[in-house]
Structure 1
Amino acid sequence: MLSTTFKVLQSIDSRRSSSNDSSKDDAAAKTKPDSVKDLQRKFLSVFWLLRCADWLQGPYFYEVYASKIFGGAPASMSMVSRLFLTGFASTALFGPAVGRAVDTYGRKKGTLAFSIIYAIGALSTKSPLLLVLLFGRVMSGIGTSLLFSAPESWLVGESQKSGDDPTGEYLGETFGMAYAGDSIVAIIAGQLASLAATKRGPTGPFELSTGFLLAGGLLASFLWKENLAAKSSSSSDSTNDDEKEESGKPSIKDAIKVIRADPKIMMVGGVQSLFEAAMYIFVLQWPPAIAKAVAKSFGDGAGTPYGTVFSTFMACCLFGSTLFGQFAKMKGPTTEGVTAGMLAVATVAMSTATYTVSTASTASGLLPLVASFFAFEACVGMYFPSIGTLRSKYVPDSHRSVIMNLFGIPLNILVVSVFMFVKYLGVNGALGVSSCALGLATLCMVKLNMLIANEKVKDPVLA
């Protein structure tokens, strides 16, 4: 799987190079350092294995819990919903503490902890006991906090430590490769999940997931060096022994002070919370939206090809990530400007989908709905390398994981709130909330660009 992903990305990269003949002289003058290539290999090989483990569990989440028997009856939709929400609540509740632990004890340890904790969550699906299943969802929620903070923090820390990428150019390229490859991994994982479910039932994909978690953890343990957060200066004025002992260790209180002191961090965090909340709401609502449109187009008995739609979504994500990688190699566009444009497109796409769902009473609604969803997925593909690059520029290393998880709290609150009231909101209302969140994310990005422009006016050296 890793070799396939690397080969596809190398093919894409070679085509890019051949299309940029006019800039060959500039490219020759600046070759990628060997240390950067080595770092990319170490990070991507582990990252894709861990992401594959995560993707494997998605397609059969509902089925694995719906197959359980409680009190002599199959699990109800409300019970499956409670299990689903337990994972989100766990992420919101434990995320900041998890982030602090990652920054304090090491990003490599955090990645290894993810492998173990997420494997416990996956294996819990074998149990028929509700308490064990709930415990597994709590573990999965904690694992999610680790997955979306520890590996990225390790990469950024190692990149800054080497000093071979002072402008962050190669870091942006690495994020682009990571999430372009992630789209390919997702497609492969979907096929593997189907095979595992055929052989082992709905728990099969979860069992296979533990194998990838083991492989990723072992690879990280051998390839990665430990990487701690930079010491914080916020506690440098400590006077007593206890405070001195804690000096330099990241704390949630200090992380909040850091966020309040720099509005740029607040804007980046706002983009993270709002966009990802919109994305998770979309994940929950696209199946019923497309199913309804398909039924209107082809009749009530028509089946919806969810697997094909999902694979196409991933192809759109691959296009978006590849497009970001192309922008990252250009001298003109900035990550901030590209992200603002992407968020504007995402807002228009989701608003179009919302309008289509609310007004479509004929078969004509299927095409604009699918087109708007495809456009949004391309924006998702651009978003992850964009936000990774932005966080590497504006979020201090001393509190990186804590801050990332703090902004996960409003994200999860919004998603859980929409999910709890979805019976009143309906698909149209939920997508409307997603559209509003994307609009606010766009405003946050515009504000960030304004702050940067003002700093350049005050200090011409930054221009």
Structure 2
Amino acid sequence: MELFYYMVFGAMAAVVAVMELSKTNKDRINTSSVFDSFKNNYLLVYSLMMAGDWLQGPYVYYLYSTYGFGKGEIGQLFIAGFGSSMVFGTIVGSLADKQGRKRACVTYCITYILSCFTKHSPQYKVLMVGRILGGIATSLLFSAFESWLVAEHFKRGFDVQWLSLTFSKAIFLGNGLIAILSGLFGNMLVDTLSLGPVSPFDAAAIILAIGMAFILSSWTENYGDPSDNKDLLTQFKGAAVAIAADEKIALLGAIQSLFEGSMYTFVFLWTPALSPNDEEIPHGFIFATFMLASMLGSSIASRLLARNSPAVESYMQIVFVISSASLLLPLLTNFLVAPSKEKGDGLSFSGCLQLLGFCVFEACVGIFWPSIMKMRSQYIPEEARSTIMNFFRIPLNIFVCIVLYNVNAFPIAVMLGMCSIFLFVASILQRRLLAIADKPKTEDWTMPREKNMEDEPLNAP
């Protein structure tokens, strides 16, 4: 069975290598040296931020269990993290738009470092505070950095198509290569060097501090709407009105919530899905394989985004359908082959099929991230970007909290099948977004040009 793991990992690595090495001029975007410097600085910082996050992920549950907490108490801690992200996310997003995205990114570093420090305490209340801080940090990670990048990109006058290059590279590195290296580094700290389950959190704090130093020394500040006469409630109302008034923004938020909710549910369920009777499986190796699949997806996305056709709104329909089909495999395999209730030696035949399907899903995740970033940069208004992005995360966090609370209420195959339905619904909404995307764009594009032509004689010297 070990041969199967190596074959899947090797095949995935080979495909990723071929994809990257076989890029032609059509798959690449010609940029300037000034932009390359800007892009590389952002990718360095983003990679450090993601390393600080990835180092912690595999060991949170394990650390809590070593402190003697049971499944129910650990579940409450996880719910607190997602609940914190839901409650405080919109507030910190609005503050990022008003007080500055650079400050918000620094706040992310400080908040997550404090969360890492709480892991040294076995006290439940202290760990709960750490989860709340971690939820706030997560909201900032998935809104403030992207908001800063988009605003800074256009402020510096770079080509709009170059933004896609930064997005795809950020996902390729941050959600792929850095995730794999972080997993290996954390494994070395805990197992090889025997420094204990809290050591990855200490390493994450150090890496986040280094990243914060780069932000403070090399980033400039930008804002959404820094107007002093707008309080948080006014910003919330403005963001809600923008979502309600523009069907494209509302559709984008629904699509994002459906996909990310399914993705986070998958993160919790893939282990028991592959080892239903607590079979011994190489979790770290499988995780690394998933990250390779995500890298493959981001590599495919970089090629698609480098070309004008097909449009991102078009090909994402297919991605959602494929991802929906991939999460149906556990339900199909359980229907065709009765699941065993006896502990096996390793991954079963149905488990092997599911692993391949899960790799396909992770490849779809790799395509999703840079593509949704591209669509957000097109449709979300700049003055409330962080606020609206965190509005999108409210239904996502509610969904994940419900799943965590009822994780034992339904069979795993049924819960993944439910996620498959959500992903299919996302494909339908994506089709609607494609249908309405072009016409408003044409109107928005022509009207300012006509206005500028009328104003031109008045502004002429």
Same fold at TM > 0.5:
yes
Corresponding residue to 1:100 among 94, 108, 116: 94
Corresponding residue to 2:132 among 129, 138, 142: 138
User: 1:23-48, CA deviations, whole angstroms, 9 ceiling, x for partnerless residues?
Assistant: 59xx8xx8412332122112101000
CA contact (8 A) 2:297 2:367 kept: yes
CA contact (8 A) 2:119 2:201 kept: yes
Check 1:248–1:38 CA distance in 2 against 1; reply closer, same or farther (3 A cut).
farther
Corresponding residue to 2:414 among 406, 426, 429: 429
State whether structure 2 residue 284 is matched by structure 1 residue 317.
Answer: no
Q: How many angstroms apart in 1 are the aligned matches of 2:96 and 2:418?
A: 32
Q: Deviating runs (4+, > 3 A) in structure 1?
A: 10-14, 247-250, 357-360, 453-462
Q: How many angstroms apart in 1 are the aligned matches of 2:369 and 2:393?
A: 15
State whether structure 2 residue 186 is matched by structure 1 residue 180.
Answer: no
CA contact (8 A) 2:296 2:366 kept: yes
CA contact (8 A) 2:97 2:226 kept: no
CA contact (8 A) 1:102 1:150 kept: yes
Alignment of 1:206-285 (within 5 A): 206-230=201-225, 245-246=229-230, 251-285=235-269
Larger CA deviation: 198-207 vs 131-140:
198-207
State whether structure 2 residue 350 is matched by structure 1 residue 365.
Answer: yes
CA contact (8 A) 1:264 1:451 kept: yes
Which position in structure 1 is the counterpart of 2:80?
86
Code of the residue aligned with 1:61 in structure 2: it is V
Which position in structure 2 is the counterpart of 1:189?
182
- What secondary structure does 1:207 align onto? helix
State whether structure 2 residue 18 is matched by structure 1 residue 15.
Answer: no
Q: How many angstroms apart in 1 are the aligned matches of 2:218 and 2:150?
A: 16
CA contact (8 A) 1:352 1:369 kept: yes
Q: How many angstroms apart in 1 are the aligned matches of 2:163 and 2:330?
A: 34
Check 1:112–1:153 CA distance in 2 against 1; reply closer, same or farther (3 A cut).
same
Which position in structure 1 is the counterpart of 2:7?
none
CA contact (8 A) 1:180 1:318 kept: yes
Shift of 1:144: 0.4
CA contact (8 A) 2:99 2:226 kept: no
State whether structure 2 residue 378 is matched by structure 1 residue 400.
Answer: no
CA contact (8 A) 2:167 2:374 kept: yes
State whether structure 2 residue 283 is matched by structure 1 residue 306.
Answer: yes
Larger CA deviation: 123-132 vs 449-458:
449-458
CA contact (8 A) 1:104 1:249 kept: no
What are structure 2's unaligned runs of at least 5 residues?
1-13, 340-347, 448-461
Check 1:400–1:136 CA distance in 2 against 1; reply closer, same or farther (3 A cut).
same
TM-score, with length taken from structure 2: 0.86
User: 1:210-234, CA deviations, whole angstroms, 9 ceiling, x for partnerless residues?
Assistant: 01110111111111101111568xx
State whether structure 2 residue 429 is matched by structure 1 residue 444.
Answer: yes
Shift of 1:435: 1.0
Check 1:209–1:457 CA distance in 2 against 1; reply closer, same or farther (3 A cut).
closer
Check 1:137–1:246 CA distance in 2 against 1; reply closer, same or farther (3 A cut).
same
Q: How many angstroms apart in 2 are the aligned matches of 1:142 and 1:58?
A: 16
Which position in structure 2 is the counterpart of 1:346?
323
Check 1:398–1:33 CA distance in 2 against 1; reply closer, same or farther (3 A cut).
same
- What secondary structure does 1:425 align onto? coil
What are structure 1's unaligned runs of at least 5 residues?
1-7, 69-73, 233-243
State whether structure 2 residue 64 is matched by structure 1 residue 65.
Answer: yes
CA contact (8 A) 2:301 2:371 kept: yes
Corresponding residue to 1:163 among 152, 157, 166: 157
Shift of 1:150: 0.7
Q: How many angstroms apart in 1 are the aligned matches of 2:256 and 2:273?
A: 25
CA contact (8 A) 1:231 1:249 kept: no
Q: How many angstroms apart in 2 are the aligned matches of 1:359 and 1:439?
A: 22
Check 1:350–1:13 CA distance in 2 against 1; reply closer, same or farther (3 A cut).
closer
Shift of 1:354: 3.2
Across the aligned residues of Structure 1 and Structure 2, the Cα RMSD in angstroms comes to: 2.5
User: 1:190-219, CA deviations, whole angstroms, 9 ceiling, x for partnerless residues?
Assistant: 011112223321111111110111011111
- What secondary structure does 1:400 align onto? helix
Shift of 1:274: 0.8
Shift of 1:246: 2.5
Code of the residue aligned with 1:266 in structure 2: it is A
Check 1:133–1:36 CA distance in 2 against 1; reply closer, same or farther (3 A cut).
same
Check 1:230–1:15 CA distance in 2 against 1; reply closer, same or farther (3 A cut).
farther
State whether structure 2 residue 59 is matched by structure 1 residue 75.
Answer: no
Q: How many angstroms apart in 1 are the aligned matches of 2:418 and 2:113?
A: 33
CA contact (8 A) 2:20 2:299 kept: no
Higher RCO (CA-CA < 8 Å; seq separation 6+): 2
Corresponding residue to 1:388 among 360, 369, 373: 373
Code of the residue aligned with 1:332 in structure 2: it is S
Check 1:367–1:99 CA distance in 2 against 1; reply closer, same or farther (3 A cut).
same
Shift of 1:368: 2.3
Shift of 1:367: 3.1
Q: How many angstroms apart in 2 are the aligned matches of 1:400 and 1:163?
A: 19
User: 1:144-191, CA deviations, whole angstroms, 9 ceiling, x for partnerless residues?
Assistant: 0011111100100011112221xx211111100000012000000001
Q: How many angstroms apart in 2 are the aligned matches of 1:15 and 1:118?
A: 36
Which position in structure 2 is the counterpart of 1:241?
none
Shift of 1:459: 8.6
